[in-house]
Amino acid sequence: MKLSPLGMRAKFLPLTAAALLCVTATDAKPPRLPNNVPVPEVFSPPAGNILPEKLGDTPLPEPRPKLSGDPDNSTVAGEASKPDAGAPVTPEKAPLPEQRPAQSPPSENGKESPGSEDNSQEKRAPAPLPAPRSSARPSATMPAEEIACRKRLVSLGVSFEERPSESDPEGCAVPYPLAVKTLGKAIDIAPDVVMNCAMAEAVARFATDSISPAAQAAYGEELKSVSDASGYACRPRNGTTTLSEHAFGNALDIGRFTLSKGTEVDVVPAPEEKAAKFLADIRKAACGPFKTVLGPGSDADHTRHLHLDLAPRKHGATFCQ
């Protein structure tokens, strides 16, 4: 029986596929491994400082060309080298970025707070200037207002003595101080108190116009003297670094009032009823002629004396407590 070409192909294709499978199976056998694996040699690191040329034949890297801007235009190895004409020139030091100006923190609504400006340069507050009163010094001739003040003291019957000017590195200063001995013809002050003239006049008028009438109303007596008094003292206010008005001879502390018949009224936290009314009337009357009035109940530093001063306040304000 004679087969066609298509029939011949169909007859031999299975035989060819079987042969290929046999060849593939033969090639897929695992390779044979040696029984003993050679152990790699281990070399100990060289000890000590051995010259590089003795360590082996490791090739040295080629020298890097010197960058543009070298003063001697030489390479690392000492040979001249020129960069490519088209190569970019790299500076030796990269420029530092400009410092960003400080900005004010944003406010609660997310916007910058008012006045947020360029604060790249630190703004420092100027050193505080000395207070005018601290730098006050006496002049060659006494000012007209000081002369006029002394004439008024004489008319009020105040006895006083001139004292040398007071000044201190701490800032205390009284250019024209007085040592006051009496507050009028019949009112003494003990011991003598150093004050400026304005304070002496204010105290003398207050003693005559307010304290003596209050004593007459409460006890039927006139004011004879004030004592345990303190005037000029170069010191700050208690618990602060601010100078006290005492540092300018501008304050007076009174601890006791003595009346014409011998009655003594001490400034204390809890006086008896008549004394309490007398002291309360005095403190009320003092608020106005004086700019600061402190006493028992104000704070722990004024439990046993009445503090009066002429502290300069804005718009003539007073502090009475």
Name the token pair of 252: 């007076």
| Phi then psi dihedrals of residue 302, to 5 deg | -125, 35
Cα(117)–Cα(287) distance, integer angstroms: 46
Question: Which of 8-12, 162-166, 238-242 has the highest average model confidence (pLDDT)?
Answer: 162-166
| Phi then psi dihedrals of residue 107, to 5 deg | -80, 180
Q: For residues 54 and 94, which has the higher predicted lDDT (pLDDT)?
A: 94
Q: What's the pLDDT at 300? A: 85
Q: Describe the crossing of helices 212-219 and 273-286 by its angle, rounded to 10 degrees.
A: 160
User: Is residue 41 predicted with pLDDT exceeding 50?
Assistant: yes
Cα(314)–Cα(117) distance, integer angstroms: 32
- The DSSP symbol for 209 reads I
Cα(296)–Cα(286) distance, integer angstroms: 15
Q: For residues 228 and 249, which has the higher predicted lDDT (pLDDT)?
A: 249
| Phi then psi dihedrals of residue 91, to 5 deg | -70, 155
Q: Whose CA is closest to 133, among 320, 309, 253? A: 309
Average pLDDT, the chain: 78
* Model confidence pLDDT, tens digit, residues 184-216: 999 999 999 999 999 999 999 999 999 999 999
Where does residue 195 fall: left (phi above 0), alpha (psi -120 to 50 degrees), or beta otherwise? beta
Query: How many helices (DSSP H) and strands (DSSP E) are in the chain?
Result: 5, 12
Question: Which of 56-60, 112-116, 284-288 has the highest average model confidence (pLDDT)?
Answer: 284-288
Other Cβ atoms within 10 Å of 98 Cβ, number: 7
Q: What is the dihedral of CA 227, 233, 238, 242, to 10 degrees?
A: 140
The sheet that has 223-227: what strands, in order across it?
160-162, 178-182, 188-195, 223-227, 256-259, 264-266
pTM over 0.75: no
* Model confidence pLDDT, tens digit, residues 61-84: 666 665 555 555 444 444 444 555
Other Cβ atoms within 10 Å of 256 Cβ, number: 18
User: Which CB contacts under 8 angstroms, 24+ apart, belong to 151-154?
Assistant: 152/201, 153/178, 153/197, 153/200, 153/201, 153/204
* Model confidence pLDDT, tens digit, residues 116-164: 444 444 445 444 445 789 999 999 999 999 999 999 999 999 999 999 9
Q: For residues 47 and 188, which has the higher predicted lDDT (pLDDT)?
A: 188
Q: For residues 87 and 166, which has the higher predicted lDDT (pLDDT)?
A: 166
Name the token pair of 102: 């400080």
Q: Given pLDDT bands bounded at 50, 70 and 90, which one contains residue 108?
A: very low
Q: What's the pLDDT at 120? A: 41
Cα(245)–Cα(294) distance, integer angstroms: 13
Percent of the chain with pLDDT over 90: 51
User: Is residue 1 predicted with pLDDT exceeding 60?
Assistant: no
